[in-house]
Amino acid sequence: MVNNQPASAGGWLLLVVRYVIPLAVVIAGIVVFVVAPDTSRYEGAAAFIGAGLSILLLNVLYREGVRGDRERDEEERARTYFDEYGHWQDEEPVS
């Protein structure tokens, strides 16, 4: 199982980029919807909310891409082990 928790001191920055920034932009869209004049409120709110959701989606897509790279690396290590020892790591060695 892969641990998706941020590591060490830079972890708070990662959480800010992943969740706080998109949330702040969506909240700004809600504020624009409440405060703006009649005709521009819908367009402004839609722009901010769409931008916030786009930031969130980009973060999700990036994490999925990185997870695929990790899975390929694990598969490569397993194949290297098989080539060296003649069996998979989770199997009993053949005598």
DSSP per-residue string spanning the chain: ----S--STTHHHHHIIIIIHHHHHHHHHHHHHHHS-TTHHHHHHHHHHHHHHHHHHHHHHHHHHHHHHHHHHHHHHHHHHHHHHSS-TTSPPP-
Q: Is residue 32 part of a domain?
A: yes
Count of domains for the chain: 1
Q: Is residue 3 part of a domain?
A: no
Q: What share of the chain in percent tops pLDDT 70?
A: 88
| 24-61 tens-digit pLDDT | 999 999 999 999 888 889 999 999 999 999 999 999 99
| Structural domain containing residue 69 | 15-85
Q: Grade residue 1 by pLDDT with cuts at 50, 70 and 90.
A: very low
Q: Is residue 8 part of a domain?
A: no
